[in-house]
Structure 1
Amino acid sequence: MKALLDLWSYLLASPLLGLTATLLAYQAGVVLFKRTGQQAWANPVLIAIILIGLFLWFSGVPYERYFDSARIIHFLLGPATVALAVPLFTQWRNLKRMAMPLIVGLFAGSAAAAFSAMAIASWLGASPETVRSLAPKSVTTPIAMGVAEKIGGLPSLTAVLVVLTGILGAACFPTLFRLLGIKRHATQGFAVGLAAHGLGTARAFMVSEEMGAFAALAMGLNGIVTALLLPLLLH
């Protein structure tokens, strides 16, 4: 028991507290995901978020301290995103052949993701700031927060909505596609990346490289389209 207490005290004082906790939480999520037969509800990212939240709550560690000690993971998001170009290159022939359907799907899906959420929130009586915060919910977090600030939304609220959207999309898309009878991995991947950004893309890569490549393409294109057109349309 004393050894465990000493280890706990060391970790709390360590500058690598956040990094260690994040890696352990995600590994626990991966183990649970595999042991449940890759059930959608056991998404490793979702499990890691829950475990990190519980850890910060019970330990009393401020979020700012946790983030500072896990900053290296935040930095690696950039190289990881750029690395998505590799599977895209392997699917280049398919991408060229499907260029027109992908472009049409991109603009239709991007518009539906933004304006359907805004319409529902407005109908339910949400404030104008909340409605505008929902608009970029299907775009990766850094872009979404910037767009929300430009259109009069609340960037902090948008960040939460983006994470919830990604988790929900990653957890539900296998069942949804099965019910709709959509079997082609390219189609599934593009839809997932368009609606559920990075979290959906990560889940798509667990299914197949083709699905992950199309999800990465949709995530990147949707970020560009939303950042350029949504502020213009709403203004």
Structure 2
Amino acid sequence: MSVTNSFDQLATLRAVLLATPLFAVGLTLAAYLLGICVFQRLGRPTWLPAILVAALMLAAVLSLTGIPYQEYQQGAAWLTVLLGPATVALGMPLYQQLPRIRELWRPLLFSLPLAAGLAVIYALGIAWLLGASPTILASLAAKSVTAPIAIGITQQLGGSVALLMGALLITGVAAIAFVSLLARWMGIRDERIIGFALGLNGHALGTVRAFEIGPTAGAFASLGMSLTGVLTALLLPLAWRLLTLAGMSVGS
């Protein structure tokens, strides 16, 4: 009888905690702070950023406590809303670096559509070859775009936001590692090029890494992230619609 009462009390406690967003928000912030501590203790490795450590800790807690992701997501929803203003706030470093951006507008204009298009094509191509369903393909299409824009694109395409968030995390971590390795291997030390590559390929995570390098790298990362988001939001839904219609025509 006492064991049954204990389980009932735990179930009641969990229901009370999940009734307000404070638990989910507090759990998220605690995981992130612990992630920063682990990240610094390990010597700040580029392949293991604090947000990845925090995500793994958070996933472990949800799994051990049996809290469904949907219930956690509802409580932490307003943190996602804050991503929008945070992205807009990156306009300040862009303004501060505007003269340097004007110097490189031609190569930036040339490389942006090519890189943004390839980011979508290779992800969808690999997933399609592996037999991914249309829902998975729609969830991966915007994996190189910053979260506030990517969520809207994914919902429009009919994908899963939960799967998208995982893809965003993996993409950001991989971009940080590969951009750093390639820049070292190719001898690239220009913060403008490194920052732009980090923002274009690694969205918000890459931008955070770029600001750790320097303000110039951070500003160009913000530029790459913003322009990639805008370009993808404008063209990807249209391209997806055309591909869907072409697939329907072939199937019929």
TM-score by length of 2: 0.80
The verdict on how the C-alpha distance between 1:113 and 1:189 changes in structure 2, with shifts beyond 3 A counting, is same
The verdict on how the C-alpha distance between 1:28 and 1:92 changes in structure 2, with shifts beyond 3 A counting, is same
Q: Quote the residue 2:172 is aligned against.
A: 166
C-alpha separation between the residues in 2 aligned to 1:185 and 1:233? Answer: 33
Percent identity between the aligned chains? 40
The verdict on how the C-alpha distance between 1:62 and 1:131 changes in structure 2, with shifts beyond 3 A counting, is closer
Q: Quote the residue 2:35 is aligned against.
A: 29
C-alpha separation between the residues in 1 aligned to 2:132 and 2:158? Answer: 14
Aligned pair 1:99/2:105, yes or no? Answer: yes
Tell whether the 8 Å contact from 1:114 to 1:135 is kept in structure 2 after alignment: yes
Which residues of 2 match residues 1-235 of structure 1 at below 5 A? 13-14=16-17, 15=20, 16-151=22-157, 153-234=159-240, 235=242
Tell whether the 8 Å contact from 1:33 to 1:39 is kept in structure 2 after alignment: yes
Q: Quote the residue 1:5 is aligned against.
A: none
Tell whether the 8 Å contact from 1:28 to 1:48 is kept in structure 2 after alignment: yes
C-alpha separation between the residues in 1 aligned to 2:87 and 2:232? Answer: 18
TM-score by length of 1: 0.85
The verdict on how the C-alpha distance between 1:194 and 1:69 changes in structure 2, with shifts beyond 3 A counting, is same
Tell whether the 8 Å contact from 1:166 to 1:200 is kept in structure 2 after alignment: yes
The verdict on how the C-alpha distance between 1:135 and 1:66 changes in structure 2, with shifts beyond 3 A counting, is closer
How many equivalent pairs are there?
228
Moved more, 136-145 or 99-108: 136-145
Which has the higher Rg, Structure 1 or Structure 2?
2
Instruction: State the 1:156 CA deviation.
Output: 4.3
Provide the aligned C-alpha RMSD in A.
2.6
Q: Gapped runs of 5+ residues in structure 1?
A: 1-7
SS in 2 for 1:105: helix
Tell whether the 8 Å contact from 1:137 to 1:161 is kept in structure 2 after alignment: yes
After superposition, the C-alpha distances for 1:59-78 in whole angstroms (9 at most, x for unaligned) are 22333443343344223222
